[in-house]
Amino acid sequence: MISFTSNIKNEIAFYTGTKNEEMATLSAIIRNNSKYDDKKIIVSTENSKVARRIYLLLSDIYNLNVSITDKDNAFNRNRLYLIQASGDIVFVLKDLQIVDDNFQYKKTISDYMIENDDDRRAYLRGIFLSCGSINDPKTSRYHLEFFINNVDEAYFVNSLLNMYYLNSKVILKDKKYMVYIKEAEKIGDFLRIIGANNAVMYYEDIRIYRDHKNMTNRLNNMEQANIEKTINTAIEQINDINLIMKVYGEDLLDEKTKEVCKYRIKYPESSLQELSEIMSRELNRNITKSGINHRFRKIKELAKRVKESSE
């Protein structure tokens, strides 16, 4: 079964843009998922469409000699695709802001690589293709993450994400830096940013369904809690009434309070609102909830005095 992450990568793998956008995407991929020297670049991926996309980017933009091979992945059952490029590698790595003039790794890329919104989105697209994953909202909690080797790159990606107010964070995990987002709405926003429109529709449908289900469960729990509270309150009121009747009978009660006692015992599971409606209908006069509540407070106070005197 294809994972949600694989579906997203399949969708955005062949997202077309300007040359600058495609360079930004390629730069993100090579900075975060490659091995290189001055003779070759090797990129690995488990996704065949992503492999094909990297192949085309390297060959079309820089006219490199590119090949794809696949082999068994030692860590899982998926195939591992290796994209190897040769040619003027030094120029390519400098042009993509991977290395500086001394062929040393550049901690940050130059501003011109991400000078506009489309370029920034393209870079984030490349980051996701190289090291990103999102949990399927149908089967798990909401979680988007990128595992990045270099601390400077991790904080750069984090700042790039937060330019879109995605509230991403960075933590050190398993000797790598994990940039992550946990808010459901923010993850949906990220999918829009990288142009994964089909994934957005799937994700939002599931999110809305889960939110509706959670709300229904909360309402059911609240309703159950209210029912239990009503029953417990009614039991306390009946116990107070029985105590008063046992010790003093009806002599201490006025006529209206006697009516309330009679209807409470007759309808032990009714709420005060329901009791007021029943009494109003059967006695043919308006009996308010607040009036009934006032009489029950009197009954409770009287029962308390009975308990204190007996003690």
Q: What is the CATH number assigned to the segment(s) 4-195?
A: 3.10.28.10
Task: Answer yes or no: is pLDDT of 72 > 90.
Answer: no
The dihedral through the CA atoms of 70, 76, 78, 84 has a sign that is negative
Residue 43's pLDDT band (cuts 50, 70, 90): very high
Q: Greatest CA separation found in the chain?
A: 106
Q: Please tell me whether residue 147 adopts helix, strand or coil conformation.
A: strand
Task: Answer yes or no: is pLDDT of 145 > 80.
Answer: yes
Alpha-carbon distance values, 59 to 25, 80, 83, 126 (Å) = 14, 20, 11, 17
Task: Answer yes or no: is pLDDT of 74 > 70.
Answer: no
Distance CA 9, CA 165 (A): 23
Q: Provide the Cα torsion 208, 214, 216, 218; round to 10°.
A: -150
122 close to 29: Cβ distance less than 8 angstroms: no
- First CA to last CA across the chain, in angstroms? 72
55 close to 83: Cβ distance less than 8 angstroms: yes
> What are the φ and ψ backbone dihedral angles of 198, each rounded to 5 degrees?
-65, -40
Q: By C-alpha distance, which of 217, 120, 99, 129 is closest to 163?
A: 120
Q: Tell me, what's the pLDDT at 254?
A: 83
Average model confidence (pLDDT) across the chain = 88
Alpha-carbon distance values, 248 to 34, 261, 265, 297, 310 (Å) = 90, 14, 17, 18, 12
Residue 77's pLDDT band (cuts 50, 70, 90): low
Tens of pLDDT, residue by residue over 162-196, are 999 999 999 998 889 999 999 988 999 999 999 99
- Answer with the residue of higher pLDDT: 217 or 15: 15
Distance CA 80, CA 6 (A): 14
Report pTM: 0.69
Residue 221's pLDDT band (cuts 50, 70, 90): confident
Task: Answer yes or no: is pLDDT of 108 > 90.
Answer: no
Residue 126: other Cβ atoms inside 10 A: 29
Distance CA 27, CA 129 (A): 12
Residue indicated by tokens 């799937």: 202
Strand partners, 176: 173
Task: Answer yes or no: is pLDDT of 36 > 90.
Answer: yes
Alpha-carbon distance values, 31 to 27, 106, 143, 228 (Å) = 6, 9, 23, 60
Q: Where are the domains of the chain?
A: 4-195, 237-310
Q: Tell me, what's the pLDDT at 75?
A: 60
Average confidence (pLDDT) over 276-290: 88
Tens of pLDDT, residue by residue over 226-275, are 778 888 888 888 888 888 888 877 777 888 888 888 888 888 888 888 88
Residue indicated by tokens 């142009």: 195
Q: Tell me, what's the pLDDT at 76?
A: 62
Q: Tell me, what's the pLDDT at 246?
A: 83
153 close to 31: Cβ distance less than 8 angstroms: yes
Residue 132's pLDDT band (cuts 50, 70, 90): very high
Residue 13: other Cβ atoms inside 10 A: 20
- Each as own residue / partner, the long-range contacts of residues 195-198 (CB below 8 Å, 24 or more positions apart, any chain) are 195/12, 195/15, 195/121, 195/125, 196/8, 196/11, 196/12, 197/11, 198/7, 198/11
Task: Return the half-sphere exposure (C-beta side, CA atoms, 13 A cut-off) of residue 210.
Answer: 15
